[in-house]
Chain A
Amino acid sequence: MTAALLTLADSRLPAGGHTHSGGVEQAIAAGVVHDPATLTAFLRRRLHTAGAVAAGLAAAATALSSSGRHRGQVPFPVALSPASCSSGESPAPASSELVAALLSLDAEADARTPSPALRAASRQQGRGLVRVGRRAWPSPVWDALPERPHSPLALGVAAAVAGLTPRDAAAAAAYLSVSGPATAAQRLLAMDPLAVAALTARLAPEIDEVATADGVPAAADPLLDLLAEVHAARKDRFFAS
């Protein structure tokens, strides 16, 4: 663990995450979230679905972009993505191979994110992360990403170029999947910051569990898809997603 990981998971990192509520704004509007108990339930379902997928994708992106240093640490499911991982033993993919591998991983992210609103939110945050990441950790590896990558891919590349491991990237992705919505709920419901900090802290064991799972899961929550699409159609929203 290094300070680079703390930097990546810091809500002060100007990657644009603060403009997204991770579905919590619409969950509040729908009456699904209204107090600390219902917020905890919402954060847990988000952690185990969108958070788990983001963690897996981020770890895979880090493994791909780390010139083989961490290959094998996260067994990327070869069967899922023949184009990207048929050469799992290749130590340092050439740049064009990395471009293809990240593009293929981006397609896997799309397949796991059928909601257009959630895709847009992810790509918007991915672009924000690339912008700040390029300045913070300059590297040619950034050029291998698609123009508006899914957020976990940008996070994975940031972790790689910052010298972090796939597990670190997964930890940051899993943590961010709850910290952002928790802060948004605190603001929208004017909740006690101590209560929100405490319930987020109590999720730490589950966040760790999600961050250390193998592979790239496809866990979906149709409720989050519905909330995201209803939210995107609203004119009076406070958050972008």
Chain B
Amino acid sequence: MRTLVEVVACRGPGGRTVLPVVRAGGQYAVRRTGPGTVHLVATAFGPLGGDDVTVRLVVEEGARLCVRSVAAAVALPSRGAARPSVQRIRATVAGELDLAPEPTVVAARARHVAELEAELGPDGVLTAAEQVLLGRRGEEPGRWTGTTRVVRAGRPLLHTTVDLGPGAPAWLPPVAPRAYASTVHTGSDERPVATGEDAVRLPLPGGWTATAWGTELHRVAGAVAGLTAPERETA
């Protein structure tokens, strides 16, 4: 199934964010759940192998957009050929974008590819969080490949691909985590390096990227939260 989601956020009268475009089809519906906030609602089971989702987000200057989802996505294998499910997020951000969907769970034998490509204007602010769990309880891990590319005014700030699960060439014992979480922020809050147990925060121009991995997603998400909480300033 092919799915296209489009949301455009602009600065409206009085500085409030308005959403002149909120469109979805395929396996997602989009609900406005607050001023400048939308929730993605899965209308079909999955994604299944072969499903292809593109999310286009435009946040104009002076606007602020929050994107959430209502439930974890469970990526399931395709029945025939082993095709991955793909989710591409393309964001153009002159204002402020806060992207934090619920976790992606990759079931056994499933393969999920997640891409985030963000083009930021000179004053664009981006916060993008992702949480991944390989395998539902008691089953073998699936495979997840996530690429993040953040460009500001033509200059690449961050470009990484993390490949986890069976078949990923660098997913090797003794460090082959089932749970992974990462948040990238740029635009308003530069932070120095911080390290924790199976967790690391690295500086970006005007921001940071924090990553943690382990066996249980709630602990991993907690480790990222510990590295990104505003009050904890450890270097």
Q: State which residues 118-164 of B face A: CB under 8 Å.
A: 147, 149-150, 154-163
Report if B26 contacts A (CB, 8 A). no
**Cβ-defined contact, B174 with A41, below 8 A:** yes
Distance A135 CA – B147 CA, assembled complex (angstroms): 39
Report if B175 contacts A (CB, 8 A). yes
**Cβ-defined contact, A108 with B159, below 8 A:** yes
Nearest chain B CB to A79 CB, angstrom units: 10
Distance A83 CA – B147 CA, assembled complex (angstroms): 22
Nearest chain B CB to A218 CB, angstrom units: 4
**Cβ-defined contact, B170 with A108, below 8 A:** no
Report if B203 contacts A (CB, 8 A). yes
Stretch binding the partner chain, chosen from A42-50, A89-97, A139-147: A42-50
Report if A6 contacts B (CB, 8 A). no
**Cβ-defined contact, B169 with A48, below 8 A:** yes
Cβ–Cβ < 8 Å partners of B173 in chain A: 41
**Closest residue of A by beta carbon distance from B171:** A45
Report if A114 contacts B (CB, 8 A). yes
Distance A217 CA – B160 CA, assembled complex (angstroms): 8
Cβ–Cβ < 8 Å partners of B159 in chain A: 80, 108, 111-112, 218
Report if A191 contacts B (CB, 8 A). no
Cβ–Cβ < 8 Å partners of B203 in chain A: 114, 116
Stretch binding the partner chain, chosen from A7-15, A166-174, A179-187, A220-228: A220-228
Mask for A46-57, Cβ within 8 A of B = 1, else 0?
101100000000
Report if B215 contacts A (CB, 8 A). no
Take A115-B202, A222-B213 as given contacts and tell me if A83 and B154 are in contact as well, using a CB distance cutoff of 8 Å: yes
Take A83-B154, A114-B209 as given contacts and tell me if A229 and B195 are in contact as well, using a CB distance cutoff of 8 Å: yes
Most buried by A among B150, B161, B175: B175
Distance A110 CA – B155 CA, assembled complex (angstroms): 10
Distance A49 CA – B157 CA, assembled complex (angstroms): 18
Nearest chain A CB to B228 CB, angstrom units: 15
Take A48-B170, A218-B147 as given contacts and tell me if A226 and B163 are in contact as well, using a CB distance cutoff of 8 Å: no
Nearest chain B CB to A101 CB, angstrom units: 14
Most buried by B among A48, A112, A219: A219
Cβ–Cβ < 8 Å partners of A45 in chain B: 169-172, 175
Cβ–Cβ < 8 Å partners of B21 in chain A: none
**Cβ-defined contact, B174 with A32, below 8 A:** yes
Q: State which residues 107-126 of A face B: CB under 8 Å.
A: 107-108, 110-112, 114-117
Report if A189 contacts B (CB, 8 A). no
Report if B198 contacts A (CB, 8 A). yes
Cβ–Cβ < 8 Å partners of A206 in chain B: 169
**Cβ-defined contact, A218 with B193, below 8 A:** no
Distance A226 CA – B156 CA, assembled complex (angstroms): 22
Mask for B210-230, Cβ within 8 A of A = 1, else 0?
010100000000000000000
Cβ–Cβ < 8 Å partners of A112 in chain B: 159-160
Report if B94 contacts A (CB, 8 A). no
**Cβ-defined contact, A226 with B198, below 8 A:** yes
**Cβ-defined contact, B174 with A217, below 8 A:** no
**Closest residue of B by beta carbon distance from A112:** B159
Q: What are the 7 A-B residue pairs with the smallest beta carbon separation, nearest first?
A: A111-B156, A220-B160, A48-B169, A45-B170, A226-B200, A111-B159, A114-B202
Residues in A lying within 8 Å of B, measured CB to CB:
32, 38, 41, 44-46, 48-49, 80-83, 107-108, 110-112, 114-117, 206, 217-223, 225-226, 229-230, 233
Can you give 23 contacting A-B residue pairs, CB < 8 Å? A38-B174, A44-B169, A44-B170, A44-B172, A45-B172, A46-B170, A107-B156, A108-B159, A111-B150, A111-B157, A114-B209, A116-B202, A206-B169, A218-B160, A219-B170, A221-B162, A222-B213, A223-B213, A225-B200, A225-B202, A225-B211, A226-B199, A226-B200
Residues in B lying within 8 Å of A, measured CB to CB:
147, 149-150, 154-163, 169-175, 182, 193, 195, 198-200, 202-204, 209, 211, 213
List 19 additional A-B contacts (Cβ < 8 Å) besides A45-B169, A116-B203.
Answer: A32-B174, A32-B175, A38-B174, A41-B173, A44-B170, A49-B170, A83-B154, A110-B156, A111-B158, A114-B203, A115-B202, A218-B149, A218-B159, A219-B160, A219-B161, A221-B170, A222-B213, A223-B213, A225-B211
